[in-house]
Amino acid sequence: MTVDDNAGESGTADEAPRRTLGVWFVGARGAIATTVAYGLEAVASGLRGPIGLVSELPEFAGLGLASLDSIVVGGWEVRPGTIARAAADLAANGVLPQDVVAKSAAVGVDARTAPGIARKDDPSASPASRERGELPLREQVRVLGEDLAAFAGSTGVDTVVVVNVASTEAVVATPECASDLAALERALDADEKLPQSVIYAYAALRAGCPHVNFTPSPGASWPALRELAREMSLPHCGDDGKTGETLVKTTLAPMFAHRALKVRAWQGYNMLGNRDGETLSDPANKGAKLRTKDAALRSILGDPKDLHTHVGIDFVPSLHDWKTAWDFVHFEGFLGARMSLQFTWSGSDSALAAPLVIDLVRFTELAKRRGESGELAHLASFFKSPLSGGSHDFHVQFAALVDYARRATTGS
């Protein structure tokens, strides 16, 4: 029995009745999930406008996306605390407006939050999460599936979309079981050591829930999990939300390519201050993030052998949820003239990410309703390292999303 028994439902978006949509976060009291919960209420109530929501652009008005006031939030969280405490921290650092926090009922998310799975040696995790992390893998999958079923049953939502916004996992060698579903099933039976993001993704798909991976962690990116998504007729998308420096890179880099300018070097430097920044201060965790940042740029520029690229990431605690990126681009023009471009990008990580998460949840639920399954190529513009979609060029990616909306609306 799966959480959503409406798999395969089709028809044009405009014909769809009003539906309720559940968002179940991996990392339910993290900065992004907290900003989503409070932001949804603020926009749905009219307290704030839908700035930053791609799904509210005129190009997508005819899709029949789930209404913002129909979305219910819950999730897994490994750390103790409350969403009110998380919101207070974000408000103190200028991310959430004080009036939005004061007037919100998002504190109800705590009642819809279950322990996640954590290592027994994780000092920041709650005892319940560490206890779950000690269970055999099949038991972990079972209890996670029960959480999803309980959420759907208690809220009455039509569909639950699971979204991973947890901290980036350390880079590890990809095991042989990643290659196909049968091998992964054997690994689960044998209780092999697997990334937590993979366990969450497997549990979500087995429960009939579409999956969104907003992190550079493996999630549902392994061939085995992609196979499972197809077997379950479920849509999914990822990896690693494109919110800041890489967004600018994938917008600017095509300019150099289209003007036949030779980029000699693209040097970037990032400073982050939130929990993500703290996690990325560990070189093992940082590796996954750097890989997704560099791949997009090289893809757009044709990966010339003499191109120098580098991205540095440092943790600056006093920045809290804010991040700053400085980039230096050294390029060659006509007759070998050497020129340069520099830009600085500074913004709130959660305020940039939260609306994209809402967009992805709405578009993914629509894909589920339309009977689509597998990787959602039309959502590539939201990710640094999209599972499908071809070009990393942001302009090409966004055009593909608009074309999808046109075809979905007209039926062509």
Helical residues (DSSP H) of 117-263, grouped into ranges: 127-133, 137-155, 181-189, 196-206, 223-231, 245-258
Residue pLDDT, tens place only, 163-200: 999 999 988 899 999 999 999 999 999 999 999 999 99
Residue 410 has pLDDT above 50, yes or no: yes
- Indicate the pairing of strand 159-164 with strand 21-26: parallel
For 193, list phi and psi in degrees, rounded to 5. -75, 120
pLDDT at 292: 63
| Residue 382 · residue 243 · CB < 8 Å | no
Residue 293 has pLDDT above 90, yes or no: no
pLDDT at 16: 47
pLDDT at 369: 96
Question: What residue type is assigned to position 152 of the chain?
Answer: A
Q: What percent of the chain has pLDDT over 90?
A: 84
Distances (CA, A) of 333 to 186, 305, 336: 56, 18, 5
Instruction: In whole angstroms, give the CA distance from residue 382 to residue 214.
Output: 9
Whole-number average pLDDT of the chain: 92
Closest C-alpha among 387, 385, 403 to residue 395: 403
Residue 241 is classified by DSSP as: B
Higher pLDDT: 290 or 333? It is: 333
Instruction: In whole angstroms, give the CA distance from residue 284 to residue 325.
Output: 21
Higher pLDDT: 11 or 186? It is: 186
E strands present in 321-398:
322-332, 338-348, 374-375
Q: Find where tokens 């075809």 sit.
A: 407
Q: Per-residue pLDDT averaged across 29-56, rounded?
A: 97
pLDDT at 282: 62
For residue 11, what pLDDT band results from cuts at 50, 70 and 90? very low
Token couple for 323: 């991040």
Closest C-alpha among 247, 245, 214, 153 to residue 361: 214
Closest C-alpha among 248, 249, 52, 275 to residue 167: 275
Sign for the CA dihedral angle at 249, 28, 200, 19 comes to negative
Residue 13 has pLDDT above 60, yes or no: no
Token couple for 146: 């029960």
pLDDT at 26: 98
Residue 231 has pLDDT above 60, yes or no: yes
Instruction: In whole angstroms, give the CA distance from residue 402 to residue 84.
Output: 37
Higher pLDDT: 138 or 312? It is: 138
For residue 294, what pLDDT band results from cuts at 50, 70 and 90? confident
List strands edge to edge, sheet with 71-77.
113-115, 71-77, 21-26, 159-164, 211-213, 235-238, 374-375
Residue 17 has pLDDT above 60, yes or no: no
Q: What percent of the chain has pLDDT over 70?
A: 91
SS3 of 294-339: HHHHHHHCCCCCCCEEEEEEEECHHHCCEEEEEEEEEEECHHHCEE
- Find residue 269's DSSP bridge partners: 312, 326
pLDDT at 43: 97
DSSP-derived 3-state class of residue 346: strand
Residue pLDDT, tens place only, 362-396: 999 999 999 999 999 999 999 999 999 889 999 99
For residue 411, what pLDDT band results from cuts at 50, 70 and 90? confident
pLDDT at 8: 38
pLDDT at 288: 56
Overall residue count recorded for the chain in this entry? 412
pLDDT at 355: 98
Q: Per-residue pLDDT averaged across 6-22, rounded?
A: 55
Question: What residue type is assigned to position 394 of the chain?
Answer: F
- Indicate the pairing of strand 262-272 with strand 322-332: antiparallel
DSSP-derived 3-state class of residue 348: strand
Residue 127 has pLDDT above 50, yes or no: yes
DSSP-derived 3-state class of residue 232: coil
Residue 221 is classified by DSSP as: -
Instruction: In whole angstroms, give the CA distance from residue 349 to residue 370.
Output: 32
Q: Per-residue pLDDT averaged across 243-255, rounded?
A: 95
Residue 6 has pLDDT above 70, yes or no: no
Residue pLDDT, tens place only, 50-101: 999 999 999 999 999 999 999 999 999 999 999 999 999 999 999 999 999 9
Residue 233 has pLDDT above 70, yes or no: yes
Sign for the CA dihedral angle at 24, 84, 217, 114 comes to negative
Instruction: In whole angstroms, give the CA distance from residue 79 to residue 123.
Output: 9
Q: Per-residue pLDDT averaged across 225-252, rounded?
A: 96
Q: Per-residue pLDDT averaged across 276-298, rounded?
A: 67
Instruction: In whole angstroms, give the CA distance from residue 108 to residue 113.
Output: 9
Residue 273 has pLDDT above 90, yes or no: no
